[in-house]
Structure 1
Amino acid sequence: MRIAVQIIAYLWASPYTITGIAIGLILNGRFQRVDGVIEIHGPRIAWLLRHMIVCAQALTLGHVVFGQNESALDFTRRHERVHVRQYERWGPMFVPLYLLFSAILFLRGRDGYRDNPFEIEAYEAEEAE
């Protein structure tokens, strides 16, 4: 039963996972698999992460985590794994919900990143180390 649930979780998040793999290939990233998650890093990925609206050490798409480098992937692993579980829970709705929460928070004068409930959950897991 556990395997069936895991397969469903992978399928539910697969649109983002497939997109992440494609981006990693286009950007010539270095791939590694850690605990069932594909981690990708490389110079082009680092550049992209540094030039996002919110500069990021890492970013998750489904079961893919992009990192500026291997150290960033190691450092952010616990935080990004929370996002992997969120993709498993919310599937294709995750990104629209994340952006909606960020927009609402921004419009209310709050931090659309730090006050986002998805980020709060990830930072709480990180602090629980």
Structure 2
Amino acid sequence: MNRLLRIIRYLWATPASTVGLLLAGAALCLGATCRVVDGVVEVAGGRFSRVFPLLPRFFRFEAITFGHVIIGIDHSLLAHLRTHEHVHVRQYERWGILFIPLYLASSALQLLRGRHPYLHNRFEREAFAKSETPPAGLHAAAGKTDADA
């Protein structure tokens, strides 16, 4: 039964994983490397990390998850953020392709409320709450928002 449930979860997240695999392909063309950790494809490194500073501030990220694919700046950072990003993998397994519009709607709602669209996003807050290690970089500011909740 567990195997059947795992297959169903992977299938339910497949549309988002497909988006992730397309982005992973672009990253691999830029020299990134690929690893599979706990059934999740992780892609990072290479010249891919040099693209980040060129992106508009709104589109910059340390790591991003699409279904069962996580794309990050480098593998050491992914190791640090793994628990957080794997919460997002579980969210995709729960919500399927609906996760993307729900995530965006949560960010929009927070923005309308005058709150930070990333740090107060309900899905990010769940991921921060379940992370064993405080995240690095942009993620580190999330710990400062508890009083704002």
User: Does TM-score exceed 0.5, indicating one fold?
Assistant: yes
Give the SS at the match of 2:78: helix
- Per the alignment, residue 116 of structure 1 pairs with 121
| Cα pair 2:27 2:43 within 8 Å, conserved | no
- Per the alignment, residue 31 of structure 1 pairs with 34
**Which of 43, 46, 50 is the matching residue for 2:46?**
43
Superposition RMSD in Å: 1.8
| Cα pair 1:37 1:65 within 8 Å, conserved | yes
Deviation at 1:49, TM superposition (A): 4.7
Deviation at 1:76, TM superposition (A): 0.2
Distance in 2 of aligned mates of 1:100 and 1:73:
26
The structure with the largest alpha-carbon Rg is 2
Deviation at 1:23, TM superposition (A): 1.4
| Cα pair 2:16 2:97 within 8 Å, conserved | yes
What is the CA deviation profile of residues 19-45 of structure 1, one whole-angstrom value per residue up to 9, with x for unaligned ones?
111211123231110010000012354
Distance in 1 of aligned mates of 2:111 and 2:50:
26
**Which of 75, 78, 85 is the matching residue for 1:70?**
75
| Cα pair 2:80 2:133 within 8 Å, conserved | no
AA matched with 2:75: E
Give the SS at the match of 1:23: helix
Unpaired runs of 5+ in structure 2? 135-149
Distance in 2 of aligned mates of 1:44 and 1:88:
30
- Per the alignment, residue 57 of structure 1 pairs with 62
Percent identical among aligned pairs is 43
**Which of 91, 102, 105 is the matching residue for 1:100?**
105
Does residue 17 of structure 2 align to residue 14 of structure 1? no
What is the CA deviation profile of residues 84-122 of structure 1, one whole-angstrom value per residue up to 9, with x for unaligned ones?
000000000001000011011101101111111100100
Deviation at 1:54, TM superposition (A): 5.5
AA matched with 2:107: S
| Cα pair 2:83 2:132 within 8 Å, conserved | no
